[in-house]
Structure 1
């Protein structure tokens, strides 16, 4: 996180503008902001380098090798912008580059020279440049605002204003104000963005996805979940979109790879961009997850995947088009079911209610606190009672557009038509149409890229069937107007409006409805009308949700503040996609009675899984031949007499840590994080050293595959092996 900007701001920041005052045991839950590394106990835990070698304002450190790759993490491993991350993090770009003729998703991709590297469409690189506490400015702006909707609007406006001000003072950066504690603390992050990213080396699917969904979130694991990308910039070093004239980016720092790997109990740490955790929320929030969000979403995604898998079963083009969507759904639904299992196993809701009752007793025991926070716990309870009352409707609204591609198309067409009609006069409308039509088509291309009519129709039918059964406050007004007599009527309704709509075919839409401004103005159908009805009702609902968000923002600020007083310490902020460090050890565990899971898997285990005959455990024959011949090269682990494939450790990770570099005590890369064990999916709500385990690919397996299987020796040469 080297700053070539206002280092004095970071210096002040470290002196105490943000003073979380974290405490840590070894190992401890926690995704530490970089400003608090000196409080984390890293040296005591086993770190051999200085904390300043990791992060030191004004100087180059390991953090300068870290990047955010869309929703994942990656790290520079060469002076020429080479990045290592996960196979699943590059998956969407590989899918977009694949065709029925060049199926890189199945067969992998190896570029033996720079001019062979291909565009990684949809991927961008973001590098943290600096950060600064802006809590006072944000909260002061809303201090005198009592109306909940206006409060949250004021906070969001101020966050946007601060970010825009930062970008105006330095046009080379992108800025965001992140909420570290809801309603309590806000930090301005400045990022450098690289828009030209290219695929360099991606292993074939039966390596990068070995085990498929059967092994997803499971240990033992044998997955080569890695890929190599390269960042490119314009010849003058500025960020630029994909162009043949662009040159490899020169990072301030790249990580050294240690091919010797690690041993059991070795100290390790991870730098990365963890997504979101929710550990500082009250019991009712966890209850909402357990009763509503997790089961609903998992079941919906399961249904969607069944439809998409069926549609692509005998059609490779359809299979490729839907591959990324299927993978994302499968990952989420298994994660959510793991969370549900974990919530039930440790009965976290009951434990949280117990903690909150004790917190309430503490408030009442202190006159000053009782005066200020006496109604807090009851106010939180009343808030969530209102949330629970319309939970089904909220989840339906949250998923209807992401589930149904044609409703997103209808939304785009309706929005474009409204914008056109707002123009004053026919000539102005025609000019507006011509000015924006290509951007609209580009947006629609993105939707149609993962669209299938049969799938869309089946999912829309399910969504309306579900909504038909909603009662009470969850009942949807637009459905009531239709006077459906049964669930079957909803299915017939979807069939009818889809069959009559020209939106079901992109070519027809582009050549007729979007042919000219008059065609757009004249066209209407029942699908467009349905989207309008849904949107009208959703806007009213969202306004009420915004009011509740404003209430919750204030309540959660108070909740964290009083909880800090109760526990006599501050907390590590929940993960929010900002750069964090977590540390621990290579370590197995006992997930169930009489079972111990070792922290290393090997080629032997991979071959054994392959003997099952299941398609998800198919692997290249060259792996088996090399294993039988003991052709391990320099990558074997001596005590195993085999090449280690995956590793297990007790670090605190979550979504977004995918692709994070796993480093040893000397700050050398020894693996790439990609998953958690099934029991650790609950990490988002609670972390426990007994069951929280994360999974990474051992760097020795990465190097062995590159060397012995894929003949990607250029990678080894570039990274200095």
Structure 2
């Protein structure tokens, strides 16, 4: 074993950074002092590394999106599309807050966000690699290794969650080389405060998604509530606004081309350290199959909800999510076609392997074994994709969850499968309850029938061993829905807490189907455990060597994104997507008028258009642009999950909200190209202008601390 195969955390920091690449763990920022100073960031790096100090103490997660506190009374600002579930949950045909927007003038008017709307405040991060990997021996099978790691992680989480008000996790970094325990206060009473009309918050819709120029006001406000003792509590009218320790000052002073920005949030997943074979699988097989599946499902939903506004509203959030994933998937495919990232990685991989082979004590079996494991991973991923297609029905997923919960509940809590412990019960109930807002029997039936037909047409490599004979025929699908009561929320929830025997003997058609296919599903998961355990043995050794190789070249070394708190930086920057075309870094409200057609998705509200035409710029006129800016570009390194991330100026003041990337940037999940990688942000001046001149959200403007430009 080479000395560099086990590296302390400090060694994982870059000796120097280049471009604006990197989604950095806060503790790494002191290593980037020169870079931060170079671009003009005034906040000391040591302060940025401290989660208990401003501005990091104001940055929060919504569990899939990012956000930040903007008042000491728990007021949270995030993207409109991040609050979309809460907006949809409260919308009806009589009160369509999606179309018309919503503004609570008083706290009593604020609406419940629902059980899936949560605010997570990270307050502690600690390296627990040694405790996670204790008891691991070379003689273990892959499954034994995986289960030992899982057992140790569960123990670390249980220890951390002795205070029930915290939610803890132990994610892997550098593909299993390091593990950090992260403690977050989980606030469960979150209410919808303000959302602009959809024609503002989603102006341009899916047509403009990932495109530049953009003219969308992608923002909404939530408020976190706690018990009177200041600690998280279940939703209750007696709760009070959370007193946030810190909050961001909102700056209307604006930015200009070349100005520095800091961006903090919770990026989801990147794959910057994947091998060329993994890139080719994604490019040639996984993404095309995923895109075809999503499009087919969208077509079925569109046909099944046609003519029913109520059904369309119920599936609005589902469709929005699918469309977003579809646009990104197609962007990845186009990006791979535009630039041969696999070929670039081939060169890097060859250089690394040549370097590795020259190191004293290098394990000659490591890379061949890793190649073999990745090939097996690709094969198993095909079957997992097939399983996801064959089980598209929301009722089947609910039934499978209930049966798995019943089986796991018979075990001691520490021995239960991850995701089915006592700590997960509220989340399971929330998922089961969520169907009330996004389920229609006829639509789900149409989706399931069509999915079964698509599954039958998939290549044999995507058929799950033993599953085909257990699935219903398409002709039998209608009877499943007439012979099941799981579509009723109360009935669905009533099965929580029942034992496995009761579910196994139930006459409910979907519960019977879930029981029938459970063995095959469990077998697939066991095979995944075995393979993951073997991957977790080889990949950390590979990553340690890669880090040593990159460090020897002075290149940035940061972990792939994994939904944990990260900081990135950059500058306001134009870009050139192709020869002869340069796209500037700002758009303005006049562009809304130019794009407006009066028809979705370019149907700006009349009151907005009137304010623009009247040049009611107020305090928000940019001195260079001569009007109000809407969105802007920076070179900051972002990905999915960064939606809603605070974009801050050199002093840590809120000047924007991240919400998207340019279409040409989508492949940055795999490869950062400094010339064309651009993130798209809402200019906070447009948000403030709409609040002031269009929606008259004066109560919120007064509540926030807004720094206006000097006259």
**Structure 1 length normalisation: TM-score?**
0.88
Shifted more, 175-184 versus 412-421: the winner is 412-421
1:21 corresponds in structure 2 to 13
1:154 corresponds in structure 2 to 148
- Matched residue SS, 1:331: helix
Contact 2:483 2:509 in 1 (8 A): yes
Contact 1:271 1:662 in 2 (8 A): yes
Contact 2:98 2:197 in 1 (8 A): yes
After superposition, give the CA deviation of every residue in 1:311-356 in whole Å (9 maximum; x if it has no partner): 3332222112111111111111111111111122211122223322
Q: In the TM superposition, what are the counterparts of 1:25-424 in structure 2 within 5 Å? A: 25-40=17-32, 41-56=35-50, 60-121=53-114, 122-168=116-162, 170-369=163-362, 372=363, 374-401=364-391, 403-412=392-401, 414=403
After superposition, give the CA deviation of every residue in 1:350-381 in whole Å (9 maximum; x if it has no partner): 22233223322222223411xx2x12222122
In structure 2, C-alpha distance between the alignment counterparts of 1:330 and 1:260, rounded to whole Å: 35
The Cα shift of 1:309 comes to 2.5
Contact 1:502 1:509 in 2 (8 A): no
Contact 1:298 1:333 in 2 (8 A): yes
In structure 1, C-alpha distance between the alignment counterparts of 2:490 and 2:87, rounded to whole Å: 28
Q: CA RMSD in A?
A: 2.9
- The verdict on how the C-alpha distance between 1:113 and 1:556 changes in structure 2, with shifts beyond 3 A counting, is same
1:425 corresponds in structure 2 to none
- Matched residue SS, 2:625: coil
After superposition, give the CA deviation of every residue in 1:199-256 in whole Å (9 maximum; x if it has no partner): 1111011100100100011111000000111111111111111111111111111111
2:664 corresponds in structure 1 to 679
Shifted more, 39-48 versus 284-293: the winner is 284-293
- The verdict on how the C-alpha distance between 1:419 and 1:699 changes in structure 2, with shifts beyond 3 A counting, is closer
Q: Structure 2: give runs of 5+ residues left out of the alignment.
A: 1-7, 412-424, 707-711
In structure 2, C-alpha distance between the alignment counterparts of 1:351 and 1:46, rounded to whole Å: 32
More helix per residue: 1 or 2?
1
- The verdict on how the C-alpha distance between 1:46 and 1:607 changes in structure 2, with shifts beyond 3 A counting, is same
1:12 corresponds in structure 2 to none
- The verdict on how the C-alpha distance between 1:149 and 1:127 changes in structure 2, with shifts beyond 3 A counting, is same
- Matched residue SS, 1:131: strand
- Matched residue SS, 1:140: coil
In structure 1, C-alpha distance between the alignment counterparts of 2:522 and 2:683, rounded to whole Å: 49
The Cα shift of 1:469 comes to 3.3
In structure 2, C-alpha distance between the alignment counterparts of 1:176 and 1:689, rounded to whole Å: 33
The Cα shift of 1:455 comes to 2.6
Contact 1:142 1:154 in 2 (8 A): yes
2:542 corresponds in structure 1 to 559
2:484 corresponds in structure 1 to 502
The Cα shift of 1:685 comes to 0.9
In structure 1, C-alpha distance between the alignment counterparts of 2:238 and 2:494, rounded to whole Å: 38
**Structure 2 length normalisation: TM-score?**
0.89
- The verdict on how the C-alpha distance between 1:309 and 1:358 changes in structure 2, with shifts beyond 3 A counting, is same
The Cα shift of 1:640 comes to 1.6
The Cα shift of 1:261 comes to 1.1
In structure 2, C-alpha distance between the alignment counterparts of 1:392 and 1:511, rounded to whole Å: 33
Task: Say which of 627, 630, 635 aligns to 1:642.
Answer: 627
Task: Say which of 589, 594, 597 aligns to 2:580.
Answer: 594
The Cα shift of 1:565 comes to 2.7
1:693 corresponds in structure 2 to 678
Contact 2:272 2:560 in 1 (8 A): yes
In structure 1, C-alpha distance between the alignment counterparts of 2:292 and 2:105, rounded to whole Å: 43
Contact 1:86 1:659 in 2 (8 A): yes
2:564 corresponds in structure 1 to 578
1:3 corresponds in structure 2 to none
Q: How many correspondences in the alignment?
A: 679
The Cα shift of 1:80 comes to 1.3
